[in-house]
Structure 1
Amino acid sequence: MKDLLCDISAFRYWRLPPQVRALCPPLPRPEEDRQRYDLARNPTAAVALGFPLYTLVRTRNKRTCPASIRQRLFLGELPRESVLETEHGFLVTSPLLTTFIMSRHLTDLQLLLVLAEMCGLFAVCALPAALEAELSRAIDSGAISTTFGWVCCPSEDGIASNLWRRDALVLGGDLDRFCSDVCGMRCGNRFMAVSQLVPLGAASPFEVEAYLLLGLPRALGGEGFCGIELNVEVMLNTSARAIVEKSRVYIDLLLSSPDGRRQVAIECQGKASHGRAGDGLRDADRMTALQAMGYDVLLLTHRQISDEDRFRAIVKAICRMLDAEYRDKSSDEQRAETLLRSELFVDWTKLGVIDGKMPARHKMARSWTAAVLSE
């Protein structure tokens, strides 16, 4: 019987680039390692996934308490296609079931961030130094291929970062089907409420943070801009193509006026937090090309969104570009924004980590989405 990894262990697995997984030896089978001595020395468990490992059990009499294992009990029928085989001697919960199980110890916003990564075009993976060195040696020697579909994004100084570019693990239709499967389960309604707010197709944590600050309803701390599109492909006309010498560019965030006549293209600047060197609107030529096609273009930095006063000035500028009226926030909306900001700017490498008891303010934050969306 193979272990079924879930919770934070499965989340770490889904964050591991395939290049790294190719270096990992299989876990020992539980029936051949009853005391888990071999597991404690296994580099996949000890280095790549980290202890304790979280496993899923289906009945109460299957629960055991080895030091290296923590178990999650899941009673009832599992959602469709929610358990997957790996090449490493264990089973793993699907990205969505992984997130659903994690939701028991996450605040609503933390759950939203995890879902945004699963549904996004990126993964955040901080490799231990030993594993990173082993990966470099394997690639340099040709022992493993670099064409796994995951690309490590360079930081501003040109070295590898913790940000990886990949295809989305979860598509919008997958999320809708999963929500219909869990709607009657414990935490199911809360999961569904949070899933309605998930940005699909974000390319970096920066894009997720900017999207939520701009797009969440004001009652949840955002600015309430509707219909924000992420990573929009724009085919350039002849004159714009002559400016940029490309046939297409990508807009990080595209905001439109209610009547659709005005559009603002926002570019998230900063390779360290954005990680898409060569894409988007990286220079004046790209900006000029889009402006020639009728777009207003706004460059956005992480410093601007993390500072409340700077961000408010940006929001007012967007309203002017969209020919929309800016309304000052009420006291309740200001408190909601303060709560949002207190949890939004996190170390993404530690997202979902179980670190003891949840602070009181996090307990208060657990119900903000479900409460507002049910009104």
Structure 2
Amino acid sequence: MPKLDRVTYSHITALQIHRFMQRNLATTLASPSRTRSAPQTSVSTHDAATVLANALRDHAIGSREFRNASEALEFLSLEGVCAPLHFVTSSQGQCRRKGDIEAHLLSTQVSSDSFFELARDCLVCSPELAFVQCADRRTDFTWLLELGYELCGTYQTARTGLTTQYEVQALTSTQRIRDFLKRNPSLRGSRLARRALLYMSDGSASPRETALALLLGLPRHLGGYGLEIPLMNRPVKLNEQAASIAQRASLRCDLCWPKSKVDVEYQSDFAHQGEFARIRDSRRANALATMQWTTIGVTSEEMNSMAACDAIAEAVRKATQKQRRANPADFERKHRELRWKLELPC
């Protein structure tokens, strides 16, 4: 474990930094050897915000100077790296909040790949470590799952410190989180993080796709329909006949159960409006049908309706040939609670 005698940003702040760097650099912190190092300085926790701001300045924003930590925090907030700033330390004496800087004690041995060097005197926790830290600090399991889908998906929301954006690079993957947990089994939060991995999938392209995957895939005792977590946005290679219909060699399925050849498409208002979208959707459905795939479309309005979601879940159950099972006695309460946490009408 590296000695934590430098400012080491953690938790949500680490995810915000990774997104910031991803947006402003040609390469991300996944290649730490390619980042520039700031001049070596002596860093105190009181100056943590200024150190971070100056490190980001050195990487991305020219010759910006900050007179104090408050000015740096104001800039970081405008850039999407919001206060409070979370950092970890190996010193018990530093574990107290100082204004907009919140410290967390990390005394457990962790693997050396848990950190990236942002500057010579400034480290940042990896997305995998930050996810485990969130599992330790957050008791809301649904929130943790949504965070995991976002980290392993191609969109971002305010959970990682920025406004919602699409078609961004994933910060990590379920396999990388799984491997990290194997190397660091005794970290606080690792038990809940391992449990979350059971219900996570790579490749979600939007918060609504994530909500649909959790709603359909989570087991009944967690309020879902118990249809198993689908693969998300995985390419399906088309045969010659299907390719001639779709006019492409492969198609991506929003949510799919490949063994059962079932594709559930979230038809967002943005991506599925107009004549071009109607023709494209028809071609993809017909192409998959020639390969004995079942395509089920789900609109935003249907997701907002409990009755419609019940009918869609039943259609998916039949298409995947899942056995119908009795719901737990408290299913309705947990189902409504899940919908509420996913910001769906209940």
TM-score (ref. length: structure 2): 0.76
Match of 1:321 in 2: 319
Residue 323 of structure 1 and its aligned partner are, at CA, apart by: 4.4
Match of 2:268 in 1: 270
Query: SS of the counterpart of 1:76?
Result: coil
Query: SS of the counterpart of 2:191?
Result: helix
Match of 1:86 in 2: 118
Match of 1:233 in 2: 235
Which runs of 5 or more structure 2 residues have no equivalent in the other structure? 27-35, 51-66
Match of 1:174 in 2: 176
Match of 1:149 in 2: none
- Please list, as runs of the form range in 1=range in 2, the aligned pairs for 1:211-360 lying within 5 A after superposition: 211-226=213-228, 228-255=230-257, 260=259, 262-270=260-268, 272=270, 282-327=280-325, 329-345=327-343
Match of 1:206 in 2: 208
Distance 1:56 1:202 in 2: 30
Match of 2:71 in 1: 41
Which shifted more, 36-45 or 221-230? 36-45
Distance 2:113 2:212 in 1: 32
Residue 249 of structure 1 and its aligned partner are, at CA, apart by: 1.1
Match of 2:152 in 1: 119
Cα 1:67–1:237 change in 2 (3 A) is same
* Partner deviation per Cα, 1:274-311 (whole Å, 9 max, x = no partner): 9xxx99x9421111111122111111123322321110
Match of 1:350 in 2: none
Distance 1:21 1:215 in 2: 36
Residue 72 of structure 1 and its aligned partner are, at CA, apart by: 1.1
1:14 and 2:12 correspond: no
> Residue 128 of structure 2: which of 96, 112, 116 is its match?
96
Match of 2:8 in 1: 4
Which shifted more, 55-64 or 66-75? 55-64
Residue 182 of structure 1 and its aligned partner are, at CA, apart by: 3.9
| 8 Å CA contact 2:222, 2:334 repeated in 1 | yes
| 8 Å CA contact 2:37, 2:119 repeated in 1 | yes
Match of 1:356 in 2: none
How many residues are matched?
A: 306
* Partner deviation per Cα, 1:168-205 (whole Å, 9 max, x = no partner): 32233322222224433433322222222212222222
Residue 93 of structure 1 and its aligned partner are, at CA, apart by: 0.5
Cα 1:47–1:88 change in 2 (3 A) is farther
Match of 2:83 in 1: 51
* Partner deviation per Cα, 1:290-346 (whole Å, 9 max, x = no partner): 112211111112332232111001112223334455445232222221222221228
Cα 1:30–1:207 change in 2 (3 A) is farther
Distance 1:31 1:193 in 2: 37
Query: SS of the counterpart of 2:164?
Result: strand
Distance 1:34 1:184 in 2: 30
Distance 2:117 2:15 in 1: 15
Cα 1:117–1:219 change in 2 (3 A) is same
Cα 1:334–1:190 change in 2 (3 A) is same
Give percent identity, aligned residues only: 23
Which shifted more, 289-298 or 30-39? 30-39
Distance 1:76 1:284 in 2: 54
| 8 Å CA contact 1:2, 1:89 repeated in 2 | yes
Match of 2:103 in 1: 71
